[in-house]
Amino acid sequence: MYLPSKVVIDVSEDAEYVSFCHKIKDFLQIDLLEYKENQMKRRLKSLYEKRGFSDFQTYYKHIVADESIRLEFLDRITINVSEFFRNYPRWQVLEKDILPQLLKENRPLKVWSAACSSGEEPYTLAMILSRFLPLERIQILATDIDEKILAKAKSGVYNEYAIKGCPEAYFKKFFTQKDGQYVISNDIKSCVTFKKQNLLNDMFDTNYDLIVCRNVMIYFTEDAKEKLYRKFSAALKENGIFFVGSTEQIFQPQNYSFVTEKTFFYKKER
């Protein structure tokens, strides 16, 4: 009787990547399948090949076993590219048009900088708000998934690239230079509270007047974006503002109880 030889089926790279994503979700509660697959797969493959690993399965074992590789992985999946006053015209709209409306009731604002990376964005917010409020009345929550980058944000130390777009008046008032680096003042640092948070999995606080989440949504799938827009909308109080990045226009804001206030600024309706 003829017995066919054993058939060896190679697991495709796609299937291997999906398996890796499921394991990461179980281990770190991070769902990589919510990110655009081609971008994330390419980024991680480049990283593990640099480490000398041959596939995602081997890479996963080292992520579990080696904290330094795990932290490097977390740093790579977050897009830690930031600078002070990035896309400056948008911040001018916030300062001239948005904040005066939010501050009409003459009370402290509840402000959140989501996916804050290394802190440039929430510190920018604090500097702008200092034009309207005493520093002791400014409190900003800043969150990110990456503990390593949050530690950098808390230090408040930046290179020349990060501060290159900072207006001179703010730079002179709130920065000092030390050993070729630029250190933000303790007065501004005291305005910001940093906290680890997974946007996709964790619950959000509510009753925010202003939520800033810029240059992050472009890396998520459409389903993940919809999920996040609904969560951000629920986190805002009525007439609160959601400020997004310059490539992240929401095309059907009414689906999330938003109306367009200014380009890249959305107001929460009832």
| pLDDT attached to residue 63 | 92
| pLDDT attached to residue 106 | 64
Least confident segment among 6-10, 67-71, 94-98, 248-252: 6-10
> What is the pLDDT averaged over residues 254-267?
95
Which CATH number is associated with domain 88-268? 3.40.50.150
pLDDT in tens, 223-255: 999 999 999 999 999 999 999 988 788 989 999
Q: What is the mean pLDDT of the chain?
A: 89
Domain ranges of the chain: 13-77, 88-268
| pLDDT attached to residue 81 | 64
| Helix (H), strand (E), coil (C) string for the chain | CCCCCCCCCCCCHHHHHHHHHHHHHHHHCCCHHHECHHHHHHHHHHHHHHCCCCCHHHHHHHHHHCHHHHHHHHHHHCCCCCCCCCCHHHHHHHHHHHHHHHCCCCCCCCEEECCCCCCHHHHHHHHHHCCCCCHHHCCEEEEECCHHHHHHHHHCEECHHHHCCCCHHHHHHHEEEECCEEEECHHHHCCEEEEECCCCCCCCCCCEEEEEECCCHHHECHHHHHHHHHHHHHHEEEEEEEEECCCCCCCCHHHHCEEEEECCEEEECC
pLDDT in tens, 99-140: 999 998 767 899 999 999 999 999 999 999 999 999 999 999
pTM: 0.81
| pLDDT attached to residue 79 | 64
